[in-house]
Amino acid sequence: MGLFDILSGKKALNRTGLLNGFCDNHIHLLPGVDDGIQSMDDALELLGIMEAAGVKTVWCTPHIMEDIPNKTDFLRTHFEKLKSLYKGDIQLNLAAEYMIDSLFQERLENDDLLVHVNNHVLVESSTISAPYNFKSTLKELMRKGHYVLLAHPERYRFLEMKDYAELKEMKIRFQLNLTSLLGLYGPAVKEKAEKLLSAGYYNVVGTDTHRVSRWRQMEEQKIGNKIVKQVSEMPGL
């Protein structure tokens, strides 16, 4: 550890204690169903690494979008297989990460959704531009009795602080990617994540891990004590 890290209170993530008791609210752990973990062996290896780090709860959130049209029953079957093979102590849960597109509209109309804790639905958008029906879709989701959990809002280039404030007024909940705070999406995303965190906009955190190597890389990144405290004090859902 360098002198700057000592003076700034920065440590490698795996030395901060943040992962002890951690709930990963967004991870692509379910093997072979999207662009995340591809094999059951890798999924079980990652769970072993996470358990050693102190992780207690995991929400598997596979993609559902027009390009990856996973069906609910298909994902549930694969999830049950993962649970049957995993012999550790991490609590495994299944939800999904829904792209706001025409397939999502169809699933929403049919009440065919895999929900997160307390009836939250994890949704995402293109990071470059909002779908034309972005806010109206969020409102429709809430009209149907769900809560909206917006995945990694810090990554959306089309949103500015005034837009985030408007979404919070709409009672939208925000999920932070821990990897954003660690600079793994670049400095612009890191800066925005820090602003949203300081403003108290986030409710929960996830890692959005797609690979075993990404988790290992994440654990080695430096993070400051102030940021660790702010993440630890998120209100939840």
The per-residue pLDDT for range 145-166, each reduced to its tens digit, is 999 999 999 999 999 999 999 9
Please report the pLDDT score of residue 9 as a whole number: 77
SS3 percent helix, strand, coil of the chain, rounded to 5, is: 45, 20, 40
Model confidence band, residue 8 (pLDDT cutoffs 50, 70, 90):
low
pLDDT (0 to 100) of residue 132: 84
In this predicted model, what pLDDT tens digit does every residue of 163-192 receive, in sequence order? 999 999 999 999 999 999 999 999 999 999
**Domain layout of the chain by residue ranges:** 21-231
- Separation CA 47–CA 43 (nearest Å): 6
Q: Structure pTM?
A: 0.95
Tokens representing residue 84 in the block? 């049957």
- The pLDDT tens digits for 185-211 are 999 999 999 999 999 999 999 999 999
d(CA 46, CA 210): 10
Burial class (CB in 10 A: 0-12, 13-18, 19+), 75: buried
pLDDT of residue 16: 97
φ/ψ (deg, to 5) at 174: -115, 135
Alpha-carbon radius of gyration of the chain? 17
Share of the chain above pLDDT 90, in %: 95
Residue 23 has pLDDT above 70, yes or no: yes
In this predicted structure, what is the pLDDT of residue 7?
44
Yes or no: say if 177 and 207 are a contact pair by the CB < 8 Å rule.
yes
- pLDDT tens-digit map of 106-155: 999 999 999 999 999 999 999 999 988 999 999 999 999 999 999 999 99
In DSSP terms, which residues pair with 120 in a beta bridge? 147
Element (H, E) at 215: helix 212-220
Question: What mean pLDDT, rounded, does the chain reach?
Answer: 95
63 — pLDDT class (breaks 50, 70, 90): very high
Confidence of residue 71 (pLDDT cuts 50, 70, 90): very high
Residue type, position 166, single letter: E
Q: How confident is the model at residue 234 (pLDDT cuts 50, 70, 90)?
A: very high
The partner residues of 12 in beta bridges, in order of sequence, read 222
Per DSSP, what are the bridge partners of residue 148? 121
Bridge partners (DSSP) of residue 200 are none
The C-alpha atoms of residue 150 and residue 159 are separated, in whole angstroms, by 12
Task: Note the CATH number of domain 21-231.
Answer: 3.20.20.140
**For 215-226, what is each residue's pLDDT tens digit?**
999 999 999 999
Distance CA 173, CA 193 (A): 14
